Each structure stands twice: as structure tokens, then as C-alpha cells.
Structure 1
């Protein structure tokens, strides 16, 4: 089974010693054997993941893909975790935003195609008047962080787990997370091509079995994540 994955997105998807590692590799390592399938990851940039699935370059996307109503029109989801965003600045910067409303007039680095980009635009439209949030998108999270270091942006808005991994990797006090709660909480889903109900149902059934056994909860805690509630899943599909 071929899996589309953006493998420059630690801690969710990355390559180490020639092997795909991270949350999605760990999830597939639990599910694939129960399906009687071997897995091969196809490294694909985030913005091209869904088009690659539609073109049948792979059978499934497992790449910390956020569930949104727009994406749900073209893929079928199996929700498997929830996360959210964090604000990150240089360690020597006095600017310490906690909420998106504090980003008016600032240059904000984001992953290209990320689900929170339109959310930031909504905040900008509602709260920033003549000093809008200046959203700048990058092909990878690492490029957004590099732009922060080079002062090309004032702050990076990225997934909470990714931000924490970036702080750890940078070492010392080069980066710091300034938000003290998860922003725009969001559901992540494994995705299959729209209408591929046979595969979606098999993956969903095995996931539910892992959750019931307690094994899956242990995995999520490793990444400081949790399963979304049914209400959160429904909200992610309709708003």
C-alpha cells in the first residue's frame, strides 16, 4: 500500500537514516499489519498531497492532514488525532504574542496550504482594520523557521507539535513558543480517495480496535496528542 506523506514535517513525518519516522509511520506500523498490507511512503510536498491522491499516485494520505469541509468534498477521512497551533518567535525577540489578534501588522510565516491560513485571514479582517496580518506561506515548516531566523517574518504560526520539535531541535534559547494554549484546535485525518469506502472502513475498524485496546492512547501521548470527540469531528466537517 502506497502512502502519501510530506516527510519534512517532524515530529509527524520525517526521514531518518533513510526511513520514514514520526507519528504517521507509527500509526501505519500499528494498522497495516492488521490489514495484511506492507507500507511504502511516497514523499510529497503538503500542498500536492490531495492532488496526488486524486491522481492515484498512492492509496492513502497519512500526513497530519487537517480535516476541513473543503477537503472533505474531495477525500474521505478517518479521524485519528487532534492538535492545534502555536505561535513561535526568536528567543531574543521582545514580541510575545499569545493570540492571533495580537498579530495585526505582523509578518506571519505559515506552511503553504495549511488549514489555519484562512482562519488567520478571518482574524485579520475582523480585528486588524488598516494593519492586516501579513500571511507569508512556505513550502516547508523548516523554511518558515529559517525565515524567522533571518527576520523575514516576525512570528511563525505552526502546529503545536511541530513548533515544540522546532524549539527542541534549535537548542538553547534560539526559539520560544509564546502562546499558552492551543490555537484553532483541529482534527487530523487519514485520507483516502473519495468513494473508496472499502479501504476507509477497514482502516477505521482497525483504528477503533487499537483505541479499545489502549495501545493507541499510548501512541498519542508520545506525541502529546489526543483523539477528537465526535462533536469536534462533526464541527471540523461542517465549519
Structure 2
């Protein structure tokens, strides 16, 4: 009786050992590659944000899709974009809905606690108003008492709140009224409808918006506000993919293809100093 029980247990253990041995190589390969699907690179992106990410004839277009095409070619992976609203991008990559985020995502110390970044772009923000408006703000300090519209989750919103608390109110001026919208086009529509006074927006996006609206809006600010670094976001425990992306990025820079892409979009690569500042680190 005891011998029979031991025999059955041994058989079960042997079967389990064989099954694990068959699965182990697959798990190891997935872990090394760092991607969720074999042969694919699943990219979370808010495809409502031209010129960075948008849909053109139902296909992803803009800087980030072109950038990921270059990266995918180096990695031997086919990028597949999953349209996701901006506020849900970091949640999505950490929930493993996609491998990475490529969606003009600003690098901040707060976000770097949630994800790992590969920094690859530098931008900032501009102020846009109706062309018929007498109000032409140049800097955040000009926005006291104004309704300022932004895309939901924009990195400058906490900075506006700080200006409101530390500049507007102590000066006896009304607070800045920050309004958030799911997409950038919805912010522009709110501006056209006089639901907000100012749209705070990425300068490249603001430029395209002004062009599309054919003079109904203008960019009032003359200088880049809150210069920021943009990065690809990878979940914290996916070092394998981050390393592969870093290598691929170095390769497309060396080939010159990345420089050509930057020139076409009138964008720039951040310096090491700017990246450290964006991450909130002081390492040399």
C-alpha cells in the first residue's frame, strides 16, 4: 500500500518535471526578449496627438510610429500600435497590456518611479489663444484667473498649480483654473467654444493646430515653456527589453536615420544633462 502510493507520487512528480522542462525554454526566451508576443512589439500610444501619434487612413502615423518602425527594424520585431488614452498609458504598460509606451510621454521624476525610460526627444509647451482675443499670455505667471485647458495628465499641470499657489494668490490675483480634457483636439474645441481662455500645448502640436484651424487661433508665447524630455516607457521589471531598445537606439543614431527623422519633424535629441534633470538625478 505504501509502496503503491509512493509510486503514484513519483509518477506525478516525474510528469510535472517533464512538463516544466518543456515550458522552461519558452519562459526563458520570453524573459530574454522582454516582449509579450513573439515577433511583435506591442506599443501603447494615444493616437489622437499629431504630429507625434495619430491615425492617417486608419493607420498609425507621426513621429512615434516612424521612430518605432526604425527601432523595430533593428530589433527584428513588427511594431503594433494599441490606441490608448493618454491617462491610461502607464497603467497599461505596467498591467502588461503592451510592451512599451511611445506617445510623446514626458519624462518626470514622478513617472520614473513607475516606469523605466529611454529618453529620445526634447520638447516643451506653448500657450495658444483665439486670434481675436486681446489676451496674449507669454508665460505661466500671466495665467492668473484664467481657464487653462490641457490634455488629461499633462506634466505641466502640477507646475501651473504651483504657480497659482506661489505666485497668483500671494499677489492677490485669482487662482489659475486648470481644466483637463481626454484629447488635445477636445481642448482646442473648448477654446473655440470659449469654454477656456488658453490652451497649453506641446509646441509641435500647437503649430499643427493653428495650421488646421486656419488662423482662428494663434500661439501667443514666444519662448519654450517648461522644456521637457520625452521617453519610451517600459515597465520596471523588464530590463531585457530596455537594454534591447537602448542598443537599437544607438544603432539608428549611428546610421543617420534618426537624425533625418528629427530634421523632418523639427525636433531635437536631449543632452545627457537634460535627461538627468528630467529624471531628477544629479549623477555626472
Considering the TM-score relative to the shorter chain, is it more than 0.5?
A: yes
Q: Name the counterpart of 1:69.
A: 109
Q: Name the counterpart of 1:181.
A: 223
Q: Name the counterpart of 1:117.
A: 157
Determine whether 1:147 maps to 2:190. yes
Please provide the CA RMSD for this pair: 1.0
Q: Which structure 2 residues correspond to residues 1-239 of structure 1 after superposition, within 5 A?
A: 1-129=41-169, 130-171=173-214, 173-238=215-280
Task: Report the Cα offset of residue 218 of structure 1.
Answer: 1.6
**CA distances 1:153-192 after superposition (whole Å, capped 9, x unpaired):** 0000011111111011111x10100111110000000011
Measure the CA separation in 2 of the matches of 1:96 and 1:154: 10
Task: Report the Cα offset of residue 147 of structure 1.
Answer: 0.5
Measure the CA separation in 2 of the matches of 1:80 and 1:148: 31
Give the TM-score normalised by the residue count of structure 2.
0.82
3-state SS in 1 of match to 2:97? coil
Q: Larger % of helix: which?
A: 2
Measure the CA separation in 2 of the matches of 1:117 and 1:146: 19
Measure the CA separation in 2 of the matches of 1:175 and 1:100: 18
Measure the CA separation in 1 of the matches of 2:106 and 2:196: 24
Structure 2: tracts of 5 or more residues without a match: 1-40
Residue range with higher mean Cα deviation, 124-133 or 98-107: 124-133
Task: Report the Cα offset of residue 144 of structure 1.
Answer: 0.5
Measure the CA separation in 2 of the matches of 1:237 and 1:103: 27
Measure the CA separation in 2 of the matches of 1:221 and 1:132: 39
Contact 2:74–2:251, Cα closer than 8 Å, also in 1: no
Q: Name the counterpart of 2:6.
A: none
Deviating 4+ runs (over 4 angstroms): none
Task: Report the Cα offset of residue 94 of structure 1.
Answer: 1.2
Task: Report the Cα offset of residue 103 of structure 1.
Answer: 0.4
Residue range with higher mean Cα deviation, 124-133 or 81-90: 124-133
Structure 1: tracts of 5 or more residues without a match: none
Task: Report the Cα offset of residue 33 of structure 1.
Answer: 1.0
Measure the CA separation in 2 of the matches of 1:222 and 1:105: 38
Contact 2:207–2:219, Cα closer than 8 Å, also in 1: yes
Measure the CA separation in 2 of the matches of 1:213 and 1:127: 47
Task: Report the Cα offset of residue 232 of structure 1.
Answer: 0.6
